[in-house]
Amino acid sequence: MHGRLKVRTTEEQAERKRLEREKKLKAYKYAMSECLLRIKNKQFDETGQKLSEQVLASNPDIQTLWNLRKKNVEFFEQSACEEDTIKILTEICLKKNPKSYPTWYHRQWCLLRSNSRKLGEKNENLNWKNELNLCSKFLNQDERNFHCWRHRFFVVAHGNLEKKNELEFTSDKISSNFSNYSSWHYRNKLIEELYYQNQIDNEIFKNELNLIENAVYTDPNDQSAWIYQKWLLLEHQKSIIKELVLDCKNREISIHFTKEIDLNKNFKFDENGWRLEEKIWKTGSNDDQSELNKLFENLTRSRHSKSSGFPIELLLDLNDEKNLYEFKSKFKMRDLTLDSEILSNHFGNMMELNQFENENSKWCMLKLVELMGIMDFDKYKENIFSYLDKLADQVDPYRKNYYLDIKCKLKENNS
């Protein structure tokens, strides 16, 4: 029971309510036992449909009844029209409980079923856009309903809908309310995907920083945009390649990625060569520089691979044409986040905001610590430590140990 206030009632009210409940209970028990009997006897009929509908309309979480309805649909090989009535029921149920797992799933099950039937009959596709409108409607009521967001991903994926329009949708959502972490989250997923597909370019990052700045100026205490900023500035500096092992003798390179990579997507190598941090290099026994360069040259000339699945470890045999592929986009992304002009501009703005907040804004201070760390740790060392101390002791003592741990770690890593 979430968010249900305890209400006091008079005796008379209580008695009236009791009688009402008794009646409801009787009706529920009857309908339920009839449905369960049908499940037991594998008896699929109109009465089962009607009774399960009655019960679900006021108790949408009873999964077993949704299952009975699925069995009915399969048994009768129901037509698309009847499936629409099923969808109407799910809408009634979602109004009753917009967070009902089995109701959302039942709707998806019906959609997939009618989609495959329509495709089979070579009819026109389902109207996925209507389904998207339903999501927007429910998100208007509760913009953080993660069940509805999940349904939205499902609709966009299965309906093959335009991701750029979705990016627009998150822009609208965010500008109408900056405190919408769900939208920021979705935005992150969309940008990553569109970027890999070369549908958006580096301009987007400047744009994102502006959006973040607008949000945090509006409410510096709201976490949503600040966490998103951490992704934009920090997470992207991490290389996607964790370890690269060269075996010069056998002319093989094995690459370990930090996350799963879809090799079927457009993942390219920068013509200018590898732009990796020194420390992630690991060479084999024969690490002659000219030999390395030769290997890279080979790799630069290499073309697309046909490997499928989501490997996190990959072995490249440079003598084998079919293993060759391109890398590019991730490295461009890294270059942008390190653009010093954009970064120092952002840093200046955050300093200004912190001053405006009487040098006392938790999030400004935390972000300044992160930014100074990226820009020039040695130069800002003392400021970083003093901000962390202030956060721990005065501004945000609940998380004191976090700040102290981070301080320790920074000291160790930079000693």
Partner 1 sequence: MESDKKLLIDKHIEFIVNYGKTHDQYEYEVSDYLRMSGLYWSVTFLDLVNSLEKFNKDDIVAYLKRNQHSSGGFSPCDGHDPHLLYSLSAVQIAIIYDVLHEIDCEKLIDYIVGLQKEDGSFAGDCWGEIDTRFSFCAVATLSFLNALNRIDQEKAISFVLSCMNYDGGFGCLPGTESHAGQIYCCVGFLSILNRLHMVNVDLLGWWLSERQLPSGGLNGRPEKLQDVCYSWWVIASLKMIGKLEWINTEKLKEYIVSCQDEETGGFSDRPGNMPDPFHTLFAFTGLSLIKAYPDMIKDVNPVFCMPQYVIDRAGLKPQLL
Q: Which residues are at the interface with partner 1 (CB under 8 A)?
A: 1-6, 21-22, 24-25, 28-29, 32, 36, 39-40, 59, 61-64, 67, 70, 101-102, 105, 109, 144, 146, 149-150, 153, 179, 181-182, 185-186, 188-189, 222-224, 227, 230-231, 235, 259-260, 310, 312, 397-402, 405-406, 409
Nearer to partner 1, 259 or 303 (CB): 259
In the complex, the smallest distance separating the C-beta of residue 134 from partner 1, rounded to whole angstroms, is 18
Nearer to partner 1, 36 or 88 (CB): 36
In the complex, the smallest distance separating the C-beta of residue 292 from partner 1, rounded to whole angstroms, is 30
Integer-rounded Cα Rg, in Å, for the chain is: 28
Contact 204, 195 (CB under 8 A): yes
3-state secondary structure labels for all residues of 187-256: HHHHHHHHHHCCCCCCHHHHHHHHHHHHHHHHCCCCHHHHHHHHHHHCHHHCCCEEEEEEECCCCEEEEE
Nearer to partner 1, 142 or 321 (CB): 142
Please name the amino acid found at residue 99: K
In the complex, the smallest distance separating the C-beta of residue 43 from partner 1, rounded to whole angstroms, is 14
Nearer to partner 1, 194 or 227 (CB): 227
In the complex, the smallest distance separating the C-beta of residue 353 from partner 1, rounded to whole angstroms, is 19
Nearer to partner 1, 122 or 259 (CB): 259
In the complex, the smallest distance separating the C-beta of residue 246 from partner 1, rounded to whole angstroms, is 25
Beta bridge partners of 314: 255
Contact 220, 353 (CB under 8 A): yes
Nearer to partner 1, 181 or 281 (CB): 181
In the complex, the smallest distance separating the C-beta of residue 341 from partner 1, rounded to whole angstroms, is 24
Rounded distance, CA 400 to CA 286, Å? 48
Which H or E run includes 46?
helix 46-58
CA 354 to chain centroid, in Å, comes to: 30
In the complex, the smallest distance separating the C-beta of residue 179 from partner 1, rounded to whole angstroms, is 5
Q: Is 309 helix (H, G, I), strand (E, B) or coil?
A: coil
Contact 256, 242 (CB under 8 A): yes
The conformational region for residue 126 under phi > 0 = left, psi -120 to 50 = alpha, else beta, is: beta
Question: What number of CA atoms fall less than 13 Å from residue 60's CA on the CB side?
Answer: 22
Contact 115, 125 (CB under 8 A): yes
Nearer to partner 1, 301 or 409 (CB): 409
Nearer to partner 1, 137 or 144 (CB): 144
In the complex, the smallest distance separating the C-beta of residue 335 from partner 1, rounded to whole angstroms, is 19
Contact 309, 329 (CB under 8 A): no
Residue carrying structure tokens 């996925």: 128
